[in-house]
């Protein structure tokens, strides 16, 4: 299983990668641009995990440089998108992503690891 994990916090990446070792082939990116580049050149992925606020920003408005930009790119460029999980602590940003991709799941990061451990 190929997994794209967008998050600018290396500690989150370490926690996430420990839980998916042996279960998935994870690719970690820290910026919206890098996520889009991965989707263009190394897709498709089975699951895409999106954080909304990037670059050290907290409660950033949706737009360029956020996970929302990646979600917008997915909607505009992938006919049949894979599973998308939003793990942002920004509830407004997470909701804005879900508005673009109604099938996206919103799971706060602290619950995300529990979900991965339980295999759901």
- The CATH number of residue 91's host domain is 3.40.50.2300
Can you give the residue range of the structural domain that contains 27?
2-118
Domain tally, the chain:
1
| pLDDT value of residue 118 | 59
> Is the pTM higher than 0.75?
yes
**Number of Cβ atoms within 10 Å of the Cβ of 75:** 11
CB-CB contact of 51 with 65 (8 Å): no
| pLDDT value of residue 16 | 87
Q: Which residues of 1-18 are buried (b: 16+ CB within 10 A; e: fewer)?
A: ebbbbbbbeeebbebbee
Low-confidence ranges of the chain (pLDDT < 70): 114-120
Euclidean distance between CA atoms 119 and 57, whole angstroms: 31
Give, as one character, the DSSP assignment of residue 29.
E
CB-CB contact of 100 with 72 (8 Å): yes
């Amino acid at each position: 299983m190929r997994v794209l994990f967008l998050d600018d916090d290396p500690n989150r990446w370490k926690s996430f990668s420990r839980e998916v070792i042996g279960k998935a082939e994870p690719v970690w990116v820290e910026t919206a641009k890098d996520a889009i580049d991965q989707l263009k050149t190394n897709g498709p992925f089975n699951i895409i995990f999106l954080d909304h606020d990037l670059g050290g920003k907290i409660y950033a408005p949706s737009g360029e440089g956020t996970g929302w930009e990646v979600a917008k790119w997915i909607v505009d460029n992938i006919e049949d998108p894979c599973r998308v999980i939003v793990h942002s602590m920004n509830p407004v940003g997470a909701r804005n992503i879900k508005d673009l991709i109604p099938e996206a799941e919103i799971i706060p990061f602290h619950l995300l690891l529990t979900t991965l451990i339980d295999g759901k």
